[in-house]
């Protein structure tokens, strides 16, 4: 107890000492009193209570923030409802009114803080009772032509209310009606010749009547209209009189007919002898095939002349005979050209023998070209074949040129090849057939004689038949006889095989005479 009391008394002394010391320090340091320290001291004394209060407030605030964060804002945009199915009554009984349909932005309504409203109109208007309250035709418009025939027009007019003002109808209610009109008045309208220009040497003539105006140009000073009617030209010279049909006295006609038939007969005989001779000797080399076809074509042409039925047998038969004469003569000259080509190829040493074409090629080419030229002319000038009094060549028609020009071209080409083969010196080919080379040289010269004779005979004969001229008939006969004799002689002597046989016969005859 004593110790306790001593301890207590010592503590009291220590506390008094501390207070004294503290008060002395406050006095010595002159410390200023601060109220905040009091609160701090109070907080120290009341710390548990403060901590409880602040903790509670912190929990409330944090709970509020967490709850706010967990909330989701939902925005819904508004949508239109369907248009109303029932329209409002039309506001007009005619002339055009409107009915109304409505809708609202309630499908759904806009919701949320940022929900958007609907875009568009809430009403839609529809036309109704569009038929006009009244429809009438307008008056006729002016005629489209001034002082002449034209068209006039009227159109429909409508009213938007009964007995209301009329105006031009629109869309499907607008109709037009046109009608012919004539504004010509001869007494008041100007003459159509006013301002009307005619060609040179032409003058305008008013030919108007009570219903229509009219004007025409007439040529003056002896001029006449051209074929197209656009110019006034000098009148063409008077056409010469039609050529009279030449006629011969019956006795003279009989003589000329006999002479022409004799001419053809003489040529046919000579050529047939030539054909028979070569056929008997069986000579058909390329050069002979060309000459043989030329001879056949010439014989066929003269057979047509010899057995010519004349126009009395019918125009169609006469035309057929005329076409055949044309074809055979043209083919004859084509083979003469092929003969010159054959001789040129051998004489000019283009080939060693047999020419440039085979026998078949020569035959096809000769007849093909002759028939082709004839068919081409027939396709254009068929009506010109035949005649009123003969069946050869109508020389007063374009058919004259269609027949003569191709034959002249063939004659010129033939003479050109003959001249080319004989005028130049060519380098010889090794291994040529000497007998064919000699035959080609003979054919080259004989063709230069035969071809002009046949051509002149063709020209004279066609002219004699057209003119019915007795001297020409006589010349035709003479030329045919000479041509036939030349063909027989030159074709026989120009062939190497015939020459060999004739030489053999000559030697036998001479040998017999010697003994």
Task: Note whether residue 107 is domain-resident.
Answer: no
**Local confidence band at 194 (pLDDT 50, 70, 90 cut-offs):** confident
- 153 and 283 belong to one structural domain: no
Give pLDDT, residue 72.
Answer: 57
**Local confidence band at 1 (pLDDT 50, 70, 90 cut-offs):** very low
Task: Note whether residue 284 is domain-resident.
Answer: yes
243 contacts 278 by C-beta, under 8 angstroms? no
What is the pLDDT of the chain when averaged over all its residues? 80
Above 60 in pLDDT, residue 501? Answer: yes
Cα separation, 294 vs 289, whole angstroms: 9
3-state secondary structure of 326: helix
Quote the domain boundaries for residue 171.
135-182
Average pLDDT (347-371) is 87
Give pLDDT, residue 425.
Answer: 67
Task: Note whether residue 174 is domain-resident.
Answer: yes
**Local confidence band at 297 (pLDDT 50, 70, 90 cut-offs):** very high
Task: Note whether residue 210 is domain-resident.
Answer: yes
Above 80 in pLDDT, residue 20? Answer: no
Give pLDDT, residue 4.
Answer: 42
- 268 and 203 belong to one structural domain: no
- 167 and 192 belong to one structural domain: no
Residue 477 CB burial class (10 angstroms; 0-12, 13-18, ≥19): buried
Out of 165, 182, 199, a domain closes at 182
- 286 and 142 belong to one structural domain: no
CATH number of the domain where residue 395 is located: 1.20.1070.10
- 165 and 218 belong to one structural domain: no
DSSP 8-state class, residue 430? T
The model's pLDDT over 101-120, given as tens digits with 9 standing for 90+, comes to 889 898 888 887 888 889 88
Cα separation, 245 vs 325, whole angstroms: 22
- 191 and 275 belong to one structural domain: no
Number of domains making up the chain: 3
DSSP 8-state class, residue 135? E
- 177 and 198 belong to one structural domain: no
- 293 and 159 belong to one structural domain: no
Cα separation, 327 vs 308, whole angstroms: 15
Global pTM exceeds 0.85 = no
Considering only the C-alpha atoms of the chain, give the largest distance between any 2 of them, rounded to a whole number of Å: 220
The model's pLDDT over 408-454, given as tens digits with 9 standing for 90+, comes to 999 999 998 888 877 656 677 777 777 778 878 888 888 889 999 99
Above 90 in pLDDT, residue 376? Answer: yes
Average pLDDT (193-207) is 88
- 388 and 351 belong to one structural domain: yes
Among the ranges given (59-68, 366-375, 431-440), the one the predictor scored with the smallest mean pLDDT: 59-68
Cα separation, 317 vs 431, whole angstroms: 54
75 contacts 115 by C-beta, under 8 angstroms? yes
The model's pLDDT over 251-266, given as tens digits with 9 standing for 90+, comes to 777 777 777 788 788 8
Residue 245, both tokens: 């049909």
Above 50 in pLDDT, residue 384? Answer: yes
Of 46-50, 195-199, 238-242, 292-296, give the range with the top mean pLDDT. 292-296
The secondary element (H helix, E strand) that includes residue 486 is: helix 470-493
Out of 182, 199, 214, a domain closes at 182
- 399 and 466 belong to one structural domain: yes
- 273 and 381 belong to one structural domain: yes
Give pLDDT, residue 513.
Answer: 55
- 379 and 353 belong to one structural domain: yes
**Local confidence band at 30 (pLDDT 50, 70, 90 cut-offs):** very low
Give pLDDT, residue 48.
Answer: 62
């Amino acid at each position: 107890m004593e110790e306790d009391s001593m301890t207590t008394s010592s503590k009291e002394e220590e506390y008094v000492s501390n207070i004294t010391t503290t008060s002395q320090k406050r006095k010595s340091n002159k410390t200023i009193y601060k109220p905040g320290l009091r609160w701090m001291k109070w907080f120290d004394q009341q710390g548990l209570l403060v901590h409880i209060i602040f903790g509670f407030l912190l929990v409330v605030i944090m709970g509020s923030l967490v709850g706010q964060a967990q909330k989701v804002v939902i925005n819904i945009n508004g949508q239109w409802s369907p248009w109303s199915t029932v329209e409002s009554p039309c506001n007009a009984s005619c002339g055009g009114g409107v009915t109304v349909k409505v809708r609202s932005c309630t499908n759904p309504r806009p919701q949320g803080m940022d929900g958007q409203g609907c875009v568009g109109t809430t009403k839609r208007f529809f036309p109704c009772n569009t038929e006009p309250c009244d429809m009438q035709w307008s008056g006729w418009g002016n005629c489209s032509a001034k002082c002449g025939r034209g068209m006039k027009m009227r159109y429909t007019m409508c009213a938007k209310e009964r007995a209301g003002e009329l105006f031009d109808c629109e869309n499907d209610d607008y109709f037009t009606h046109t009608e012919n009109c004539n504004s010509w008045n001869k007494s008041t309208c100007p003459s159509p010749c006013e301002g009307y220009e005619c060609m040179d040497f032409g003058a305008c003539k008013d030919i108007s009547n009570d219903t229509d105006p009219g004007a025409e140009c007439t040529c003056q000073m002896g001029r006449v209209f051209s074929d197209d009617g656009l110019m006034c030209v000098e009148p063409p010279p008077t056409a010469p009189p039609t050529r009279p049909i030449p006629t011969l006295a019956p006795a003279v006609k009989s003589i000329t007919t006999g002479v022409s038939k004799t001419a053809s007969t003489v040529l046919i005989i000579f050529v047939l002898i030539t054909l028979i001779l070569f056929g008997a000797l069986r000579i058909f080399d390329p050069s002979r095939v060309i000459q043989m076809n030329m001879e056949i074509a010439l014989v066929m042409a003269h057979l047509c002349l010899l057995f010519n039925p004349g126009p009395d047998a019918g125009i169609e038969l006469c035309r057929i005979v005329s076409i055949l004469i044309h074809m055979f003569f043209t083919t004859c000259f084509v083979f003469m050209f092929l003969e010159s080509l054959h001789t040129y190829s051998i004489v000019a040493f283009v080939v060693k023998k047999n020419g440039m074409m085979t026998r078949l090629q020569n035959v096809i080419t000769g007849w093909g070209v002759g028939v082709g030229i004839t068919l081409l002319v027939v396709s254009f000038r068929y009506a010109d074949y035949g005649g009123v009094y003969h069946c050869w060549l109508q020389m007063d028609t374009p058919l004259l040129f269609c027949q003569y020009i191709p034959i002249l071209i063939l004659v010129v080409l033939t003479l050109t090849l003959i001249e080319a083969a004989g005028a130049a010196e060519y380098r010889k080919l090794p291994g040529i057939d000497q007998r064919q080379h000699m035959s080609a040289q003979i054919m080259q010269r004989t063709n230069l004689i035969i071809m002009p004779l046949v051509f002149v005979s063709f020209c004279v004969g066609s002219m004699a038949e057209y003119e019915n001229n007795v001297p020409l008939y006589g010349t035709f006969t003479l030329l045919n006889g000479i041509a036939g004799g030349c063909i027989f002689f030159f074709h026989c002597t120009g062939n190497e095989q015939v020459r060999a046989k004739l030489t053999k016969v000559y030697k036998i005859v001479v040998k017999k005479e010697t003994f």
